[in-house]
Amino acid sequence: MHRWAAMLALLAFLVPQARADAVADFYKGKVVRIVVGFGPGGGYDAYARLLSRHLGRHIPGNPGVVVQNMPGAGTLRAANFIYAAAPKDGTTIGTFSRDLPLLAATGMSAGVAFDPRKFTWLGSSSSFADDAYLLMVRTDAPAASIEEARRPGGPTLVLAGSNEGAPGNDVPMILRETVGLNVKMVSGYPDTAAMFLAMERGEVHGRTVDLSSVRTFRPQWLAPGGGMRALLQFARLTRHPDLPEVPTARELASTASAQALIELTELPYFMARPFAAPPETPPDRAQALEAAFIATHKDPQFLEDAARLRLDVSPVGGADVLHTIARITAASPATLDHLRRLLAETKGGG
């Protein structure tokens, strides 16, 4: 009896080790590709390139890691690719707009060809703990304050946006609906770099953008005399400590339905920089990838690199991402219908 118990204990020890060796053997000499749904020069690209410099050290077998940009359709192109067309062997992962699970929940886009619950989620580099989604405008914009920007009959802010499903397009419409923001969108900009340039050239008055992206790519905008100002914070329960004078959307919403819509559309920010592998990735490799993802975010070299770039690192794991998606899909029918009506008006040019 004691001999059988000893043999079972030995097997229990050896089987996980054999699996780990198999994963290391698979990844040795290979290259893992990170597909980014936006073009170069933006926040998602910055997080992906940061991850690419450190992830390989934490994957068994230490593969190389490269970044491939695949912009298009507000990152739907990249999300659909990861879901259906990318190799399902653990050599391809992707990052795409945090808002896509919300877009999928509304059923408003024929371009959604995925079930967000079925991705192999590795986690998110940021849960927005030290970030904020800002309405940033030029200091010569016709509205110098959020009070002016939301006054009935007041001046209209012209904002840059990309494509359907991207936060830069949808959040301004949410703000128009919930806090009375007077806004007009100019959509179709290919990436963050193009929208930043449009602001600097005066083609538009401003845009909505992550604080972390401004810190990384346009830190001078946050300094006195930088030519830009923040009027509003989104995806914050409280005001960001670096912007104590800038109100949150929650503060300005005056009705219960407006509050509910803001709370629903802020949920994706708890998975602000998501990374996923395709569905049906072999379980041992999926487990290794998620473990490597979490370990990377504790790596001192990674954290030093992130601090230099001024990126918010507040990671969550795959289970946390799935929990956030479950909260989105469990939203009240009334709130989801409210969002559908709003998106439908936006599509129709309303």
Query: Tokens for 154?
Result: 């007041």
Mean pLDDT of 121-144: 96
pLDDT digits (tens, 9 = 90+) for 13-45: 555 555 668 999 999 999 999 999 998 988 899
> Can you give the C-alpha Rg of the chain in angstroms?
22
CA–CA distance, 134 with 132 (Å, rounded to integer)? 6
Reply yes or no on whether the pLDDT at 164 is more than 60.
no
The distance in angstroms from the start CA to the end CA of the chain is 77
Same CATH fold assignment for domains 14-127+270-329 and 133-268: yes
Using DSSP, state whether 157 is helix, strand or coil.
Answer: strand
Cα distance between residue 236 and residue 158, in whole Å: 23
Cα-based distances in Å from 274 to 132, 211, 271, 340: 16, 17, 6, 24
Residue range 14-127+270-329 in CATH 3.30.2130.30: no
Q: Which two tokens stand for residue 84?
A: 């259906």
3-state secondary structure of 120: strand
| Spatial distance between the Cα atoms of 75 and 105, rounded to a whole number of angstroms | 16
Query: Given 3.40.50.2300, 3.40.630.30, 3.40.190.10, 3.30.56.10, which CATH number is that of 133-268?
Result: 3.40.190.10
Reported confidence tier of residue 107, pLDDT bands at 50, 70, 90: confident
Domain map (residue ranges) of the chain: 14-127+270-329, 133-268
DSSP class of 129: T
CA distance 23 to 289: 10
